[in-house]
Structure 1
């Protein structure tokens, strides 16, 4: 490329032809049902663990601290295994079939959870639903990015996170009224529905062109863009991108086009998990019990789920308007403030609570002593809302940026020739980190209280701010081919949105 040539050029229109997105939206909807199941299964332990740790639980299923830690964390271990499986399946059978394959471990896992008569069935069922989550996490964002055009890729790229959050909210809401075994039965429904709908959806045009099936790719692209869309320009760009790719050897990984996007994607997935989002979601109700929140924990969890859904909807709306980096900055700052406040609050809160104050109900309410007791009680009630309020802020901040954007950027920046394997690697690193953190979380809280993990999450939020400032490129409004060209040049750039151009420096 000539040194004076702009790195990324914008096209005014998509091939100058009319685009109809109805087919694209239908394909995305079918795919993200897997993410709904992912969000549902991720937080399944939140309402279930208090019941299984209760003295009233079935003796064969009753859990102590160590067993509860495994029940919460083994899901992440399964997700890591699913990510490894997706590394092979994405390129072997394609993105769509990889997503469909996830329905098998998901359904079997829910059947084991629903019919469990021993602890091993609970743990195996939780592990298998994690495997399904890892497979969908590695495949769905890549599938969506490859069938979408750049005008809507940001919004559609956030759909996996939106539907995952909606799945979590559904679990919290059902957990208020539905027994835990029936929660597992309900979880199998979206997996089966996803399998049925995806049967009628197309494969990725990029996948088809890479297999040399040009006519099929053109037919699929016209179905995704509408019958009046001129497919030639987009197909030519995709084919050129594929032609410029060569078989990747280990020696090739030292070139910027490969190692830069892979490092960015892997580190972002690592930092995303180190913020503490998975243990917070997995142990949400037990955390609220430990924090002495003045509202019943199961209702707190439902409130957090609703706020999380609202925040990812905002992020989806702003994704292509505000840009990825701006949302990541906002997300990091909100999580930093929330985790720091929670660390301070948990450090100053006595846990377990001290002895109850004397009963003054028989005293004259006008006496100074009783006024003091009333004032102290009101202070305790207000303090009891701090964990809920700032947990909501933490979740809101995460869902505004580091939740959806890490998935989207992974699918945008990874080169096509390594996208399947590298996305599986990212998911594996992410969920191995989540497993270690989630398993250690319970023991840290039992030994030191909530203060230590919250303080660690605060430090990670600072690292997120720095990494976004130094390493993360702005990819909003760029096609996948343009993003690949940017990494191929090895030159830095800044984006001037008002001028819709990139200024090299």
Structure 2
């Protein structure tokens, strides 16, 4: 793209960018009266906490189907296959959202895309709440999924682009921590609330997120990419603190944007270059393996799985599982910038492999043991322990880190397109796992978890062979290492 064409592209964006300029200046005026604006870490943390309402919505959507399965089937007369379709439709909607997410986030900004994502989420929850038959139920689930597809790409990218390099891993894992909090809340409130009321509660995160977005700055790297130099430096100063010298970081971001912005779009033939295909391969590989591990099968249908394992209070056990996931993800948030990404991924996938193997063996052996045998009870405890260990292991790394790494390694000029592709394949895999989980569990519980075990083994190998360590490096350093 030549300079004239580039200028022509940026001029209309500068008009819409005035909204971002106004928002940034408003944030500066408000913040200059507070210590928050002088302490950059507090300012970044505030932004992350506001943005985290998006993944809380994401998690609530994931967790909603588990405690509501019996109620929805009973009230609307659905079959198991129809409810499986309902559970998986959020993933179908997320595929559509994922296709659009990168382009939306690149064109109107990270904040604007989150506002767009909030609207179908709100409409979707209302449709589910007032559903009288399966049509409204399915439509609502699709709309929710569309919003979640945009959120799942935009939030980790925004956090990676605003965070200082020494905090980027920990802050990036807040995305997955917020997802687990959303799941836990769905499990907890599902113990007490009817499925229709629970759907109304699902509206809250996005209704708070929309006004909250007016109080956080736009991503400085996106503003730099769009040629909004004044807004870019204002946003970065707000994020780093008013007393901090940002000249070094400003120059580094400008150099990165200038080198990658010589051509705004890439052709498929460009993927022959390592700086493009290698990070794209890593991002897609991690996000697909994350879903093939079977985590959504466990989270979406945990109540039924616990009942199969012989747990009497399956709903309470499901809530306990959600709580454990929050705690384990919190540990990851603390460790991310200390232990590094590769080590946590290796430990996480190794724990998953061992625990899934135990679950598979216990379910396979239970078919050959009499129910009144003490060994049958032992196998039930073993399968329950394996499921808990699997979720804990997943939360220690495989849950959060693929999104963090994806947001770190993709070059700025392909981040929208490549991020959309990686997110789309993640949701396609999630849909396949969710849609087939109930049917596979009916076929063979032991066989189902054996399949997931093999995937976890391959995840360990993939991390060791291909995934680089990104701890302690700037985004520009990470992306230039693939050249």
Fold in common (TM above 0.5): yes
2: distance between equivalents of 1:52 and 1:180?
A: 7
Q: Does 1:427 align with 2:423?
A: yes
1:487 — aligned with what? 482
Q: Does 1:210 align with 2:228?
A: no
Is the contact between residue 72 and residue 195 of structure 2 (CA under 8 Å) also seen in structure 1? no
Superposed CA offset, 1:207-253 (max 9, x none) = 11112211111111111111101121111100000011132232222
- How far has the Cα of 1:19 moved from its partner? 5.7
- How far has the Cα of 1:163 moved from its partner? 0.6
- How far has the Cα of 1:21 moved from its partner? 1.3
Q: Does 1:442 align with 2:438?
A: yes
Superposed CA offset, 1:243-268 (max 9, x none) = 11132232222111111001110111
2:317 — aligned with what? 300
1:45 — aligned with what? 65
2: distance between equivalents of 1:291 and 1:123?
A: 30
2: distance between equivalents of 1:305 and 1:385?
A: 18
2:3 — aligned with what? none
Is the contact between residue 347 and residue 450 of structure 1 (CA under 8 Å) also seen in structure 2? yes
Superposed CA offset, 1:96-124 (max 9, x none) = 11112111110001001111101111111
Superposed counterparts of 1:299-338, under 5 Å: 299-338=316-355
Higher RCO structure (Cα 8 Å, ≥6 apart): 1
1: distance between equivalents of 2:409 and 2:193?
A: 42
1:475 — aligned with what? 470
Superposed counterparts of 1:238-277, under 5 Å: 238-245=253-260, 246-247=262-263, 248-277=266-295
Instruction: Report the aligned-residue RMSD.
Output: 1.5
Higher normalized helix content (fraction of residues): 2
Is the contact between residue 173 and residue 333 of structure 2 (CA under 8 Å) also seen in structure 1? yes
Superposed CA offset, 1:307-348 (max 9, x none) = 101100111111011111100110111000111011001111
Is the contact between residue 180 and residue 325 of structure 2 (CA under 8 Å) also seen in structure 1? yes
Q: Does 1:457 align with 2:474?
A: no
1:141 — aligned with what? 156
Is the contact between residue 113 and residue 150 of structure 2 (CA under 8 Å) also seen in structure 1? yes
1:498 — aligned with what? none
Secondary structure of the residue aligned to 1:401 is helix
Q: Does 1:29 align with 2:49?
A: yes
Superposed CA offset, 1:39-82 (max 9, x none) = 011111001112233xxx22xx1211210210111111111111
- How far has the Cα of 1:449 moved from its partner? 2.2
**Change in 2 beyond 3 A, CA 1:473/1:19:** farther
2: distance between equivalents of 1:433 and 1:275?
A: 10
1:400 — aligned with what? 396
Is the contact between residue 362 and residue 380 of structure 2 (CA under 8 Å) also seen in structure 1? no
Is the contact between residue 72 and residue 283 of structure 1 (CA under 8 Å) also seen in structure 2? no
Superposed counterparts of 1:36-435, under 5 Å: 36-53=56-73, 57-58=74-75, 61-245=76-260, 246-247=262-263, 248-293=266-311, 295-350=312-367, 376=373, 379-435=375-431
Is the contact between residue 63 and residue 300 of structure 2 (CA under 8 Å) also seen in structure 1? yes
Runs of 5+ in structure 2 lacking a partner? 1-37
Q: TM-score, normalised by structure 2?
A: 0.89
Is the contact between residue 42 and residue 130 of structure 1 (CA under 8 Å) also seen in structure 2? no
Q: TM-score, normalised by structure 1?
A: 0.85
Runs of 5+ in structure 1 lacking a partner? 1-17, 358-375, 489-505
Rg comparison, structure with higher value: 1
Superposed CA offset, 1:182-202 (max 9, x none) = 111111001110111012211
